[in-house]
Structure 1
Amino acid sequence: MVHNATSNTTQLLPWGWSITPQDDHLLLCPSASRILGTFALVNALVTALSIPFGNRVFLNWLTHRRFFKNPDSVDHRWTWIITVGLQLSANALVGYIFQRSPGYNANFKIWELMLFFTVRPRLSWIALTVLGLYERSSTRRQRRLHKTENSKDQPIPDRPWGSAAKSQAFAEVALQIMALYVMGTTVHFGARHGYYKLKTTTYKSLPLSAHLMYSGAMFYLVSGCLIIFYELCGLLMEYGDETHESRNEEDEHSGSILLFVWVNLTCTWMASWIFWAGFVRLAGNQYCPPKLYAQGSIWGAFSLFGIAIGAGAA
């Protein structure tokens, strides 16, 4: 019975790798709730800690006024690359730990798991995007003047979370593009095997976990393609625009950002949760990750470091 269940599960998964214990009696696999709980805990802690560590003013104070001094920093235009590298490095390190853990069979390649984990839900960048709209009130000491084309002096807006928010958002675009490969592979596999044909016997015979995984993948793929197109347009505008916006333009821009955050929250972020909720239950002992605490700690630490770098060290 166990062999048949494992065989059926393998047939329902789009990839050939697995992480399994060598002896089911000696090593107990974490429950689906614990695996998903690790994701939730990382999301909650990183989001909470992103408030101080994504704040340029706090980091400026923390470094004794040596770094993070420029309120008009554009370092986010390159720090997002570091953030992407850190996220991929964290995924690769987690995969390496899986392979080196005694008592487990891990027949995947590091790059496979590195890409697979780009699908995991990330919330901190959404929170930072909202915080990035906050404009710090100017004081005599903090006010900096900027000459506009009309030769009028205007204070440069100081958004303490602005640089970190943009850096994280740019990095998220890159990670979402990579995640489309995983979701596209899942959807292609499901379509080829008839898992999306609603009235067929094959569709009706699928367990609920498979329905969740494949519907989450489709939801992510469709919404992700549309959202990423919008995000790329925003990136082009960011890199091409050197002017400061008027107050009315800023208000309109803020409204667009809040709408963008809401769409991401209800589409790609929610879709990734649906995908993972289905996957970990469907895979069962075929996905038996060891050392969940180490896994969560790595993701948390690397994420926070990327957030701090994105705040603009200049």
Structure 2
Amino acid sequence: MAEITSTEQLIPWPWAVTPLDPDTHSCPSTTHILVVFGVVNVICAYIAIILGNRTVIRWLTRGVFGQPGVSSWVYVSWIASAGLILAANALNAWLTVRAPGYDQSRMPTVGDLTLFYVSRPRIAWIWVLVLGLLPCHWRGNKDNGLDWRNAAIQTTVAEIVLQLIGVYYKARAVHFASRRGLYGESKLDRIDFVSRAAFAMMTTAATVYMCILAVIAALLFYWLKYKPKFRTLGWMYLCTAGTYWILDWVFMAGYVKLAGDLFCPQQFALQGAIWAIFTIIGLAIGGAI
């Protein structure tokens, strides 16, 4: 294996989002990108409390949606929730790939970037799941269920699907590092400390992510065999898969810092708004059914 002499050699995939003329396209900083991720998380988390509540949806729609009880639609509505997030990813990927003034020879396809954006940290589902697991007697509501239960079921199943899709880029990072023997720092002596740390963050998060898959598989086996109540399975899943949110943060922070100007998407704040809007629509669907 050739000696690692540049940061670019530590990127596990061949594509890059780079402008042809850096003087005319200023790249968002690592902080800017992570702040956008954080703002989207905060906005969606707080709106999830409102629109994921079927009592609120019932009031907003004058009783048309958000009826008490678990609708049979909740078990397929996750398709809409996951589909909306993937659609937002695809739209943002398209905006990035089609942006003028970029090196198209190294630009990823819309599909590549859509899959990569699945690793974006998402927290709204965690808030909704926690609320869905707590007994609810809000304003005397005792409809033999939980006001956030439908949204919790929908968003949790959607998140499981998205986490499985997110394995793709995590697995590529793990394969890249293990095949080249880069888990130690002996081969990275000529790389600056910040880049080494960023690479370690990315690959460590990806490795732990893959390991937790075994725990998720065990939970699925437990569910298929014993059919536990939603609340029991929900708390078990939250304690394990909730770690994925932290790992997604570490993975993305490591990659963005490592890539630097090799990941230079324009109008990233607009992309954040698109993620927020599509996520909120999915949450509203969960509260409506």
Q: TM-score, normalised by structure 1?
A: 0.82
Deviation at 1:135, TM superposition (A): 2.9
2:187 to 202, 207, 223: 202
Number of equivalences: 279
SS at match of 2:169: helix
Aligned to 2:237: 260
Give me the whole-angstrom Cα distance separating, in 2, the residues matched to 1:33 and 1:188: 28
Deviation at 1:101, TM superposition (A): 1.9
Aligned to 1:11: 9
The answer (yes or no) to whether the contact 1:173–1:231 under 8 Å persists in 2 is no
Aligned to 2:92: 94
- 1:232 lines up with 2:217 in the alignment: no
Cα deviation per residue 1:226-250 (whole Å; 9 max; x = unaligned)? Answer: 2431453466479x68xxx6xxxx8
Aligned to 1:114: 114
Deviation at 1:80, TM superposition (A): 0.2
The answer (yes or no) to whether the contact 1:71–1:160 under 8 Å persists in 2 is no
Give me the whole-angstrom Cα distance separating, in 2, the residues matched to 1:269 and 1:125: 10
Aligned to 1:32: 30
SS at match of 2:18: strand
Give me the whole-angstrom Cα distance separating, in 2, the residues matched to 1:121 and 1:173: 13
Aligned to 1:167: 154
Give me the whole-angstrom Cα distance separating, in 1, the residues matched to 2:75 and 2:270: 31
The answer (yes or no) to whether the contact 2:216–2:240 under 8 Å persists in 1 is no
Deviation at 1:138, TM superposition (A): 8.6
Deviation at 1:188, TM superposition (A): 0.3
Deviation at 1:22, TM superposition (A): 1.6
Amino acid at match of 1:187: V
Aligned to 1:211: 200
Question: 1:147-166 counterparts in 2 under 5 A?
Answer: 157-166=144-153
Aligned to 1:4: none
Deviation at 1:180, TM superposition (A): 0.9
Cα deviation per residue 1:126-183 (whole Å; 9 max; x = unaligned)? Answer: 111100023333989x66xxxxxxxxxxxx5121100001100000110111111111
Give me the whole-angstrom Cα distance separating, in 2, the residues matched to 1:166 and 1:105: 42
Q: TM-score, normalised by structure 2?
A: 0.88
Query: Unpaired segments of 5 or more residues in structure 2?
Result: none
The answer (yes or no) to whether the contact 1:57–1:68 under 8 Å persists in 2 is yes
The answer (yes or no) to whether the contact 1:54–1:311 under 8 Å persists in 2 is yes
Query: Unpaired segments of 5 or more residues in structure 1?
Result: 1-6, 144-155
Point out the more displaced range, 117-126 or 103-112. 103-112
Give me the whole-angstrom Cα distance separating, in 2, the residues matched to 1:309 and 1:133: 19
- Larger Cα-atom Rg: 1
The answer (yes or no) to whether the contact 2:216–2:237 under 8 Å persists in 1 is no
SS at match of 2:281: helix
- 1:295 lines up with 2:283 in the alignment: no
Amino acid at match of 2:199: A
RMSD: 2.4
Aligned to 2:137: 137
- In 2 relative to 1, CA 14–138 (structure 1 residues): closer, same or farther, beyond 3 Å? closer
- 1:284 lines up with 2:260 in the alignment: yes
Give me the whole-angstrom Cα distance separating, in 2, the residues matched to 1:105 and 1:49: 38
Point out the more displaced range, 207-216 or 37-46. 207-216
Give me the whole-angstrom Cα distance separating, in 2, the residues matched to 1:40 and 1:114: 19
Deviation at 1:11, TM superposition (A): 1.4
The answer (yes or no) to whether the contact 1:30–1:289 under 8 Å persists in 2 is yes
Aligned to 2:175: 188
Give me the whole-angstrom Cα distance separating, in 1, the residues matched to 2:139 and 2:257: 54
Aligned to 1:46: 44
Point out the more displaced range, 17-26 or 304-313. 304-313
- In 2 relative to 1, CA 172–56 (structure 1 residues): closer, same or farther, beyond 3 Å? same
Amino acid at match of 2:82: V
